[in-house]
Amino acid sequence: MSDSFDLSKIINYFTEKLNEYGATYRGVDYNSYEAQTIRFSQLLKLIDPSLRYSLLDFGSAYGMMYDYLIHLGHDVHYVGYDIADSMIAKGRELYPDNPDCWFTNNIEEVPMLDYAVVSGTFNLKLDVDPDIWTQLVIDSLNQMNAHATKGIAFNMLTGYSDPDRMRPDLYYGDPCFFFDYCKRNFSRNVALLHDYNLFDFTIIVRKEM
Protein backbone atom coordinates (compact mmCIF):
# COMPACT_ATOMS: atom_id res chain seq x y z
CA MET A 1 0.00 0.00 0.00
CA SER A 2 1.04 3.60 -0.50
CA ASP A 3 3.43 5.27 1.93
CA SER A 4 2.58 8.79 0.71
CA PHE A 5 0.69 9.46 3.95
CA ASP A 6 0.60 8.07 7.47
CA LEU A 7 -1.25 4.77 7.76
CA SER A 8 -0.49 4.33 11.45
CA LYS A 9 -4.10 5.07 12.46
CA ILE A 10 -5.32 2.26 10.20
CA ILE A 11 -2.70 -0.12 11.60
CA ASN A 12 -3.57 0.80 15.19
CA TYR A 13 -7.29 0.36 14.53
CA PHE A 14 -6.89 -3.21 13.31
CA THR A 15 -4.32 -4.07 15.96
CA GLU A 16 -6.87 -3.06 18.59
CA LYS A 17 -9.55 -5.17 16.89
CA LEU A 18 -7.24 -8.19 16.81
CA ASN A 19 -6.32 -7.72 20.47
CA GLU A 20 -9.99 -7.45 21.44
CA TYR A 21 -11.51 -10.24 19.35
CA GLY A 22 -8.59 -12.46 18.36
CA ALA A 23 -8.34 -14.42 15.11
CA THR A 24 -12.04 -14.16 14.22
CA TYR A 25 -14.08 -12.25 11.65
CA ARG A 26 -14.56 -9.51 14.27
CA GLY A 27 -10.80 -9.30 14.68
CA VAL A 28 -10.64 -7.92 11.14
CA ASP A 29 -13.80 -5.81 11.57
CA TYR A 30 -16.18 -7.89 9.44
CA ASN A 31 -19.86 -7.68 10.36
CA SER A 32 -20.38 -11.44 10.21
CA TYR A 33 -18.72 -14.70 9.25
CA GLU A 34 -21.40 -15.22 6.59
CA ALA A 35 -20.61 -11.90 4.89
CA GLN A 36 -16.92 -12.76 4.96
CA THR A 37 -17.44 -16.10 3.22
CA ILE A 38 -19.78 -14.57 0.63
CA ARG A 39 -17.07 -12.08 -0.30
CA PHE A 40 -14.44 -14.81 -0.46
CA SER A 41 -16.64 -16.92 -2.73
CA GLN A 42 -17.01 -14.03 -5.19
CA LEU A 43 -13.25 -13.45 -5.34
CA LEU A 44 -12.59 -17.14 -5.95
CA LYS A 45 -14.55 -17.05 -9.20
CA LEU A 46 -11.19 -15.93 -10.58
CA ILE A 47 -9.54 -19.28 -9.81
CA ASP A 48 -9.74 -22.83 -11.16
CA PRO A 49 -9.72 -24.88 -7.93
CA SER A 50 -9.03 -28.15 -9.74
CA LEU A 51 -5.40 -27.09 -10.30
CA ARG A 52 -2.64 -26.22 -7.85
CA TYR A 53 -2.02 -22.47 -7.83
CA SER A 54 -0.17 -19.73 -5.98
CA LEU A 55 -1.96 -16.76 -4.43
CA LEU A 56 -1.11 -13.36 -2.99
CA ASP A 57 -3.63 -12.28 -0.36
CA PHE A 58 -3.11 -8.50 -0.31
CA GLY A 59 -4.11 -7.13 3.08
CA SER A 60 -4.25 -10.65 4.41
CA ALA A 61 -4.58 -9.90 8.13
CA TYR A 62 -3.88 -13.18 9.95
CA GLY A 63 -4.77 -15.40 6.97
CA MET A 64 -8.48 -16.14 7.23
CA MET A 65 -8.52 -16.55 3.45
CA TYR A 66 -5.98 -19.38 3.72
CA ASP A 67 -8.13 -21.17 6.29
CA TYR A 68 -11.13 -20.82 3.96
CA LEU A 69 -9.19 -22.21 1.00
CA ILE A 70 -7.93 -25.21 2.95
CA HIS A 71 -11.43 -26.04 4.15
CA LEU A 72 -12.53 -26.00 0.50
CA GLY A 73 -9.77 -28.46 -0.34
CA HIS A 74 -7.72 -26.13 -2.54
CA ASP A 75 -4.11 -27.05 -3.32
CA VAL A 76 -2.60 -23.60 -2.88
CA HIS A 77 0.71 -21.91 -2.16
CA TYR A 78 -0.42 -18.89 -0.16
CA VAL A 79 1.41 -15.63 0.54
CA GLY A 80 -0.20 -13.19 2.97
CA TYR A 81 0.85 -9.54 2.79
CA ASP A 82 -0.22 -6.98 5.38
CA ILE A 83 1.13 -3.68 6.70
CA ALA A 84 0.13 -4.47 10.31
CA ASP A 85 2.91 -6.30 12.15
CA SER A 86 0.37 -7.66 14.63
CA MET A 87 -1.53 -9.42 11.84
CA ILE A 88 1.63 -10.89 10.35
CA ALA A 89 2.70 -12.17 13.76
CA LYS A 90 -0.70 -13.78 14.35
CA GLY A 91 -0.62 -15.44 10.92
CA ARG A 92 2.81 -16.90 11.59
CA GLU A 93 1.58 -18.12 14.97
CA LEU A 94 -1.48 -19.82 13.46
CA TYR A 95 0.33 -21.45 10.53
CA PRO A 96 3.90 -22.19 11.66
CA ASP A 97 6.43 -24.19 9.66
CA ASN A 98 4.17 -24.43 6.62
CA PRO A 99 6.06 -24.00 3.32
CA ASP A 100 2.76 -23.38 1.52
CA CYS A 101 1.67 -20.55 3.81
CA TRP A 102 3.85 -17.59 4.72
CA PHE A 103 3.38 -13.95 5.65
CA THR A 104 5.27 -10.72 5.06
CA ASN A 105 4.87 -6.98 5.61
CA ASN A 106 7.28 -6.21 2.76
CA ILE A 107 5.74 -6.27 -0.72
CA GLU A 108 9.25 -6.47 -2.20
CA GLU A 109 9.58 -9.97 -0.71
CA VAL A 110 6.57 -11.23 -2.65
CA PRO A 111 7.50 -13.23 -5.77
CA MET A 112 5.48 -13.53 -8.95
CA LEU A 113 2.43 -15.67 -8.25
CA ASP A 114 -0.54 -16.91 -10.26
CA TYR A 115 -3.20 -14.73 -8.66
CA ALA A 116 -3.65 -11.80 -6.28
CA VAL A 117 -6.81 -11.03 -4.33
CA VAL A 118 -7.86 -8.46 -1.75
CA SER A 119 -10.95 -8.52 0.46
CA GLY A 120 -12.11 -5.67 2.67
CA THR A 121 -8.73 -3.95 2.79
CA PHE A 122 -9.91 -0.78 1.05
CA ASN A 123 -13.03 -0.22 3.16
CA LEU A 124 -11.72 1.69 6.17
CA LYS A 125 -10.19 5.08 5.41
CA LEU A 126 -10.89 6.85 8.73
CA ASP A 127 -10.19 10.57 8.14
CA VAL A 128 -8.23 10.24 4.88
CA ASP A 129 -9.60 12.33 2.00
CA PRO A 130 -11.57 10.09 -0.42
CA ASP A 131 -9.57 11.28 -3.44
CA ILE A 132 -6.30 10.41 -1.73
CA TRP A 133 -7.73 7.03 -0.74
CA THR A 134 -8.76 6.38 -4.33
CA GLN A 135 -5.15 6.87 -5.38
CA LEU A 136 -4.02 4.47 -2.66
CA VAL A 137 -6.44 1.87 -4.02
CA ILE A 138 -5.12 2.38 -7.55
CA ASP A 139 -1.52 2.06 -6.35
CA SER A 140 -2.42 -1.14 -4.49
CA LEU A 141 -4.16 -2.63 -7.52
CA ASN A 142 -1.09 -1.92 -9.61
CA GLN A 143 1.07 -3.68 -7.03
CA MET A 144 -1.23 -6.68 -7.13
CA ASN A 145 -1.23 -6.73 -10.91
CA ALA A 146 2.57 -6.60 -10.97
CA HIS A 147 2.76 -9.73 -8.80
CA ALA A 148 0.14 -11.86 -10.59
CA THR A 149 0.56 -13.70 -13.88
CA LYS A 150 -3.00 -14.98 -14.33
CA GLY A 151 -5.27 -12.39 -12.76
CA ILE A 152 -6.46 -10.36 -9.80
CA ALA A 153 -9.73 -9.91 -7.93
CA PHE A 154 -10.80 -7.33 -5.38
CA ASN A 155 -13.83 -6.01 -3.55
CA MET A 156 -14.84 -2.80 -1.84
CA LEU A 157 -17.89 -1.01 -0.55
CA THR A 158 -20.03 0.42 -3.32
CA GLY A 159 -20.90 4.01 -4.03
CA TYR A 160 -24.41 2.73 -4.72
CA SER A 161 -24.92 2.05 -1.00
CA ASP A 162 -28.01 3.50 0.66
CA PRO A 163 -27.12 7.07 1.68
CA ASP A 164 -28.52 6.67 5.19
CA ARG A 165 -26.20 3.69 5.78
CA MET A 166 -23.00 5.33 4.56
CA ARG A 167 -20.35 6.35 7.11
CA PRO A 168 -17.71 9.09 6.78
CA ASP A 169 -14.91 6.80 7.99
CA LEU A 170 -15.52 4.27 5.21
CA TYR A 171 -14.55 4.38 1.54
CA TYR A 172 -17.22 3.76 -1.09
CA GLY A 173 -15.78 3.04 -4.51
CA ASP A 174 -17.33 3.78 -7.88
CA PRO A 175 -17.76 0.37 -9.57
CA CYS A 176 -17.80 1.89 -13.05
CA PHE A 177 -14.57 3.81 -12.44
CA PHE A 178 -12.69 0.74 -11.26
CA PHE A 179 -14.11 -1.45 -14.02
CA ASP A 180 -12.93 1.09 -16.58
CA TYR A 181 -9.52 1.41 -14.93
CA CYS A 182 -8.98 -2.35 -15.01
CA LYS A 183 -10.11 -2.63 -18.64
CA ARG A 184 -7.77 0.15 -19.73
CA ASN A 185 -4.75 -0.87 -17.67
CA PHE A 186 -4.82 -4.58 -16.84
CA SER A 187 -6.77 -6.75 -19.30
CA ARG A 188 -9.61 -6.96 -21.79
CA ASN A 189 -11.15 -9.70 -19.64
CA VAL A 190 -12.80 -7.93 -16.71
CA ALA A 191 -15.99 -8.84 -14.84
CA LEU A 192 -17.95 -6.63 -12.43
CA LEU A 193 -20.03 -8.55 -9.87
CA HIS A 194 -22.62 -6.47 -8.04
CA ASP A 195 -25.42 -8.97 -7.47
CA TYR A 196 -24.77 -10.80 -4.19
CA ASN A 197 -26.87 -8.80 -1.73
CA LEU A 198 -24.08 -6.98 0.10
CA PHE A 199 -23.25 -3.28 -0.04
CA ASP A 200 -20.12 -3.89 -2.05
CA PHE A 201 -18.91 -5.11 -5.43
CA THR A 202 -16.23 -7.45 -6.75
CA ILE A 203 -14.10 -7.02 -9.85
CA ILE A 204 -12.32 -9.96 -11.48
CA VAL A 205 -9.48 -9.43 -13.94
CA ARG A 206 -8.28 -12.34 -16.06
CA LYS A 207 -5.07 -11.82 -17.98
CA GLU A 208 -4.42 -13.11 -21.47
CA MET A 209 -2.21 -16.19 -21.46
Specify whether the CB–CB gap between 200 and 140 falls below 8 A. Answer: no
Specify whether the CB–CB gap between 100 and 77 falls below 8 A. Answer: yes
Distances (CA, A) of 116 to 18, 19, 125, 130, 184: 24, 27, 22, 24, 18
Q: 123 vs 17, which has greater pLDDT?
A: 123
Phi, psi of 12 (to 5 degrees): -65, -40
Average pLDDT of the chain is: 93
4-16 per-position pLDDT tens digit: 567 888 888 888 8
Question: What's the pTM value of the predicted model, to 2 decimals?
Answer: 0.92
The pLDDT assigned to 13 comes to 82
124-137 per-position pLDDT tens digit: 999 999 999 999 99
Rounded mean pLDDT, 91-103: 95
Share above pLDDT 90 across residues of the chain, in percent, rounded to a whole number: 82
Rounded mean pLDDT, 102-124: 96
130 CB-side CA count, 13 A: 10
Domains of the chain: residue spans and CATH: 8-206 (3.40.50.150)
Rounded mean pLDDT, 68-87: 96
What does the DSSP assignment read for 85-101?
HHHHHHHHHHSTT-TTE
Distances (CA, A) of 133 to 115, 152, 203: 24, 20, 18
Nearest Cα neighbor of 154 from 199, 200, 189, 195 is 200
Question: pLDDT at residue 196 above 90?
Answer: yes
The rounded distance, in Å, linking the Cα atoms of 18 and 26 is 8
